[in-house]
């Protein structure tokens, strides 16, 4: 199967499907539990101890216990709310079981004289022992010998059915070890568990095991599973990288045919000198483009580090080789920002540029499509519109995706498939202003070559960040007035456009009215996603041009907006934003020589204080301007999903391993992956298929 057929299959796979009808089998499929091994790897969330009966005379208040007794009373009463009251006598004392929702079948099972086992949290009081909504079953049969697993499930899939399905999968799955015994991960000199032993134990642990080691995943059986999972991830990433190395791409030589190469002429025309980091990364990209192997590089750099000029330099190499380059951005505002900069740099050097967005008028769009199809437009800049079917490139050789985490797998595959010709793949450069922590780079991004811009251009001033209660709103406005009096400009960011009954948040429209009244000496603009594209463009142009003193905006200005005269950023309800988003917003100021400030305005409402996670985010923002440190803290607070975005849509995040605590396992997996691929290729393929199945194809994006 060639890469184009594979891409088409992935595009089809990424399309939304119709909802799955109810029914246990269909819910299993919906959860991705298709193969015996999928069921075997569907591990419990927690366990219930149904292996022993506790006498009521021995229970302690607040314990979760299982009791056994005879039903002496079963009646429905109306005490404000209809409820089923059942008295259970175990021979030592009695316990009241209280149910506020129940079915006739449950009443029948709890009839007077029946002997049952009930499990739940027991509470004491003036009326004796009580359990609210306990689980219960007939007391017939022996007690189980293992803890009862409780699995992740969905509506229409009862635990009892799921337990039977998992046990069936465990019995049928091929659990032969794929890692040679001498390569297995061992813990503190212990003998390594086999995969069969680890899974059998985790689905059926004995009561003697310390529950804490199961809950915190520190038990050797869990360690074996996490090591296997990380190894599958490393193997799949390494295999994807090697498969790409076997593909062919256009060789984009830096040489030009009209005197000095285009890249050199661009460098000479720039009004600034590249930083050392920019020169280093530019050389890394040029080296990739000069090879016949498709580049697959992630360029990470903090906000304001100068990624756009590197995109222009890479584009210049591509264009000088007689090929086309496309740059895709997630929003029209960001795409237009790139377009203005690139046109300003490249058009004086004779480069024809095309612009594509979904809001274009038909006549303009037709003209742009013709320029692209003929190859007259060497550089194409736009939004998702670039990947629509009607867009045909004559000779696309380099695809640049900005803020790559905002795009899904299908969108990236669609852009890569635009290269006309069956044998060549375009080079791919992905850019992000959200630095990737080391453990993420080692795991989810292991298939990429990563370039890092680790210094800011000279002249940038540090941003002072203050965390301020909205009770001091008037004080913040006075500070704004001081900045405006010095000829500076101010952003004020709000999280919502309209009032919401669910969230008590100020909205952009109301804030715009308030600030217009409070600051009559300046013009206050309003920008949000519901404005027509032409209106957004006019508002941004007015702010860039200095006609607006204050811009009240939603998060549409999160990335790409570059106004050096803006020296103050106020983020309202900052406690509602994610850490990486706060850092992106803060990066809109501090782009000129003036001292800049970011005010994180938080609201506690009726609550006495901020939630712990919100407090940690705001504290991290106040303590550091370094995007890499912010990224590390964000990983600690919220986990990897925030960084990955849609990169691995269709492929689950790590289910068992934790990148913060399992770095030793990750290091082991990184060492083992090339050894297995090189010396045990059949076992390596089996290992990948066991853990990832069809999801492996998404790594090609």
Q: Residue 415's pLDDT is what? A: 64
Question: Is 170 among the domain residues?
Answer: no
Per the CB < 8 A criterion, the answer to whether 393 and 259 are in contact is no
Q: Residue 20's pLDDT is what? A: 43
Per-residue pLDDT tens digits for 594-609:
889 999 999 866 444 5
- Examine the fold and report which residue of 115, 138, 161 is the final residue of a domain before the chain moves on: 138
Going from the C-alpha of 425 to that of each of 221, 591, 592, 692, the distances in angstroms are 43, 37, 40, 25
- Say whether both 271 and 336 belong to one domain: yes
Average pLDDT over residues 540-557: 87
How many C-beta neighbours within 10 Å does residue 22 have?
12
556 pLDDT more than 60: yes
Ordered alpha helix ranges (H), 545-611 = 579-586
Question: Is 523 among the domain residues?
Answer: yes
Confidence of residue 502 (pLDDT cuts 50, 70, 90): very low
Containing domain of residue 592, as a range? 463-624
Average pLDDT over residues 462-489: 92
Q: Which residue has the higher pLDDT, 696 or 595?
A: 595
Per the CB < 8 A criterion, the answer to whether 42 and 144 are in contact is no
Question: Is 416 among the domain residues?
Answer: yes
Average pLDDT over residues 514-531: 90
Confidence of residue 255 (pLDDT cuts 50, 70, 90): low
Per-residue pLDDT tens digits for 322-378:
999 999 988 887 788 888 889 999 999 999 999 998 888 899 999 999 999 999 999
Per the CB < 8 A criterion, the answer to whether 173 and 39 are in contact is yes
- Say whether both 401 and 437 belong to one domain: yes
In the structure encoding, which two tokens stand for residue 288, read together?
């990739």
Summary mean pLDDT of the chain: 84
- Say whether both 484 and 427 belong to one domain: no
Q: Residue 558's pLDDT is what? A: 54
- Say whether both 475 and 439 belong to one domain: no
Q: In sequence order, what are the beta bridge partners of 297?
A: 429, 449
Q: Spell out the SS3 assignment of 619-654.
A: HHHHHCCCHHHHHHHHHHHHCCHHHHCCCCCCCCCC
- Say whether both 605 and 559 belong to one domain: yes
Phi first, then psi, for residue 88 (nearest 5°) are -115, 125
DSSP for residue 157: -
CA distance 496 to 498: 6
- Say whether both 406 and 293 belong to one domain: yes
Rounded percentage of the chain residues whose pLDDT exceeds 90: 50
31 pLDDT more than 70: yes
16 pLDDT more than 90: no
- Say whether both 291 and 422 belong to one domain: yes
Question: Is 400 among the domain residues?
Answer: yes
Question: Is 660 among the domain residues?
Answer: no
CATH number at residue 523: 3.40.50.300
683 pLDDT more than 50: yes
646 pLDDT more than 80: no
Report the run of H or E that residue 158 belongs to, with start and end: none
In the structure encoding, which two tokens stand for residue 437, read together?
């922590």
- Say whether both 420 and 534 belong to one domain: no
257 pLDDT more than 50: no
Q: Which residue has the higher pLDDT, 682 or 645?
A: 682
Confidence of residue 634 (pLDDT cuts 50, 70, 90): confident
CATH number at residue 106: 2.40.50.140
The residues near 1 (Cβ < 8 Å, ≥ 6 apart) are: none
In the structure encoding, which two tokens stand for residue 46, read together?
């927690």
Rounded percentage of the chain residues whose pLDDT exceeds 70: 86
Number of domains in the chain: 3
Question: Is 525 among the domain residues?
Answer: yes
- Examine the fold and report which residue of 83, 103, 138 is the final residue of a domain before the chain moves on: 138
CA distance 312 to 264: 12
- Say whether both 303 and 436 belong to one domain: yes
Q: Which residue has the higher pLDDT, 416 or 571?
A: 571
Question: Is 413 among the domain residues?
Answer: yes
21 pLDDT more than 50: no
Q: Residue 13's pLDDT is what? A: 41
Q: Residue 567's pLDDT is what? A: 92
- Say whether both 508 and 620 belong to one domain: yes
Q: Residue 647's pLDDT is what? A: 43
- Examine the fold and report which residue of 624, 644, 665 is the final residue of a domain before the chain moves on: 624
Average pLDDT over residues 613-631: 85
In the structure encoding, which two tokens stand for residue 277, read together?
């980091």
Q: Which residue has the higher pLDDT, 87 or 244?
A: 87
Q: Residue 597's pLDDT is what? A: 93
Distance of CA 554 to the CA centre of its chain: 21
How many C-beta neighbours within 10 Å does residue 272 have?
11
408 pLDDT more than 80: no
- Say whether both 476 and 586 belong to one domain: yes
405 pLDDT more than 50: yes
- Say whether both 482 and 396 belong to one domain: no
pTM recorded for the entire structure: 0.73
Question: Is 187 among the domain residues?
Answer: no
Per-residue burial over 352-385, b if 16 or more Cβ lie within 10 Å, else e, is ebbbbbeebeeeebeebbebbeeeebbbbbbbbb
Q: Going by DSSP bridges, is the β-strand pair 324-328/353-356 parallel, antiparallel, or unpaired? A: unpaired
């Amino acid at each position: 199967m060639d890469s184009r057929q594979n891409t088409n299959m992935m595009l089809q796979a990424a399309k939304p499907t119709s909802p799955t009808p109810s029914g246990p089998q269909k819910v299993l499929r919906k959860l991705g539990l298709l193969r015996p091994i999928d069921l075997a790897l569907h591990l419990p969330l927690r366990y219930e101890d149904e292996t022993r009966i506790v006498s009521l005379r021995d229970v302690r208040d607040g314990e979760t216990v299982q009791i056994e007794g005879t039903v002496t009373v079963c009646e429905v009463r109306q005490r404000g709310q209809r409820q089923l009251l059942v008295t259970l006598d175990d021979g030592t004392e009695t316990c009241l079981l209280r149910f506020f929702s129940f079915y006739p079948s449950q009443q029948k099972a709890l009839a007077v004289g029946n002997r049952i086992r009930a499990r739940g949290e027991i509470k004491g009081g003036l009326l004796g022992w009580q359990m609210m909504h306990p689980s219960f079953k007939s007391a017939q049969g022996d007690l189980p010998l293992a803890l009862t697993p409780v699995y992740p499930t969905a509506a229409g899939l009862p635990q009892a059915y799921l337990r039977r399905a998992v046990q069936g999968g465990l019995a049928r799955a091929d659990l032969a070890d794929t890692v040679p015994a001498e390569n297995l991960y061992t813990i503190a000199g212990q003998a390594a568990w086999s995969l069969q032993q680890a899974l059998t134990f985790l689905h059926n642990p004995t009561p003697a095991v310390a529950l804490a080691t199961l809950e915190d995943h520190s038990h050797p059986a869990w360690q074996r599973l996490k090591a296997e999972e990380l190894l599958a991830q490393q193997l799949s990433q390494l295999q994807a990288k090697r498969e790409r190395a076997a593909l062919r791409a256009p060789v984009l030589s830096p040489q030009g045919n009209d005197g000095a190469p285009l890249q050199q002429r661009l460098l000479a025309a720039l009004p600034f000198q590249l930083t050392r980091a920019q020169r280093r990364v530019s050389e890394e990209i040029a080296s990739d483009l000069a090879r016949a192997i498709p580049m697959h590089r992630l360029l990470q750099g903090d906000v304001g580090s100068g990624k756009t000029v590197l995109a222009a330099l890479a584009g210049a190499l591509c264009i000088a080789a007689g090929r086309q380059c496309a740059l895709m951005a997630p929003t029209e505002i960001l795409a237009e920002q790139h377009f203005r900069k690139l046109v300003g740099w490249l058009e004086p050097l004779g480069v024809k540029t095309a612009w594509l967005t979904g809001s274009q008028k038909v006549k303009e769009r037709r003209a742009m499509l013709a320029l692209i199809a003929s190859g007259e437009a060497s550089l194409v800049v736009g939004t998702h519109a670039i990947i629509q079917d009607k867009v045909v490139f004559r000779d696309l050789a380099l695809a640049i995706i900005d803020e790559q985490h905002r795009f899904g797998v299908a969108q990236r595959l669609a852009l890569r498939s635009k290269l006309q010709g069956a044998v060549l793949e375009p080079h791919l450069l992905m850019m992000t202003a959200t630095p990737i922590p080391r453990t993420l780079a080692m795991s989810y991004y292991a298939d990429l070559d990563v370039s890092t811009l680790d210094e800011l251009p000279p002249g940038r001033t540090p941003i002072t960040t203050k965390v301020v209660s909205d009770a001091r709103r008037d004080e913040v406005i006075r500070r704004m007035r001081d900045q405006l009096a010095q000829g500076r400009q101010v952003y004020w960011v709000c999280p919502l456009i309209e009032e919401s009954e669910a969230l008590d948040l100020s909205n952009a429209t109301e804030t715009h009215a308030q600030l217009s009244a409070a600051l009559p000496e300046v013009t206050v603009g309003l920008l949000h996603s519901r404005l027509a594209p032409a209106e957004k463009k006019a508002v941004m142009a007015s702010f860039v041009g200095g006609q607006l003193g204050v811009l009240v905006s939603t998060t549409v200005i999160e990335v790409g907006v570059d106004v050096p005269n803006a020296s103050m950023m106020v983020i309202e309800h900052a406690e509602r934003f994610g850490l990486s988003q706060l850092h992106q917003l803060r990066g809109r100021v501090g782009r000129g020589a003036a001292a800049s400030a970011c005010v994180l305005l938080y609201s506690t409402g009726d609550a006495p204080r901020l939630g712990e996670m919100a407090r940690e985010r705001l504290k991290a923002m106040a303590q550091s301007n370094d995007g890499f440190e912010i990224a590390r803290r964000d990983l600690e607070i919220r986990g990897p999903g925030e960084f990955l975005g849609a990169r691995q849509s269709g492929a689950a995040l790590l289910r068992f391993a934790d990148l913060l605590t399992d770095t030793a396992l990750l290091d082991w997996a990184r060492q083992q992956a090339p050894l297995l691929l090189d010396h045990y290729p059949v076992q390596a393929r089996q290992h990948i298929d066991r853990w990832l199945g069809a999801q492996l194809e998404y790594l090609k994006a």
